[in-house]
Amino acid sequence: MTLSTISAIVGALQGIIDDVSGIRVAPTVPPEQLAGSGVFAILTPASGRYHMIAPGRYEVNHTFHLMIATPYANLRTDYARVLALGDTIPKALEGAGTISGMIVQIDEERYTFGRTEWGGQDYFGYVWELDVRATGT
């Protein structure tokens, strides 16, 4: 099977996140700045490693960053919604099985919770580190 590209994995993961109730917007291409209000999700590649396991066959390990946050101005109304997504996001990702027909496995999900930043703006919420493994030729 052909090795999934980073952009294909990002698109598949972002599609899963976009379907989670409580997230207002999950753009497929991260914007320079986020307009409007509400809970948003942005997924970007962070780091990775390619390893040849046999001639022409690879195992690839990627770490993606997933930010799920809300503007500080909305903290009073969105805090509980953002906090609850800490339980919802892992279930959504783990429930996906193989992602979009790709041989992809989510190995570990780690998060930090609190202040975060995007495009020079302060937000409040989660930054997840998703360790993803893919294999293929």
Domain range annotation of the chain? 6-136
Q: How confident is the model at residue 56 (pLDDT cuts 50, 70, 90)?
A: confident
For 77-99, what is each residue's pLDDT tens digit? 889 999 999 999 999 988 766 66
Burial of 14 (0-12, 13-18, 19+ CB in 10 A): buried
pLDDT the model gives residue 96: 67
The total number of residues written for the chain in this structure: 137
Distance (Å, whole) CA 23 – CA 21: 6
The pLDDT tens digits of the residues spanning 96-132 come to 666 666 667 888 999 999 999 988 889 999 999 999 9
Indicate the class that CATH gives domain 6-136. alpha beta
Of 23-27, 61-65, 89-93, the one with minimum mean pLDDT is 23-27
E-strand stretches of the chain: 40-54, 57-71, 104-118, 121-136
3-15 confidence digits (pLDDT tens): 778 888 888 888 8
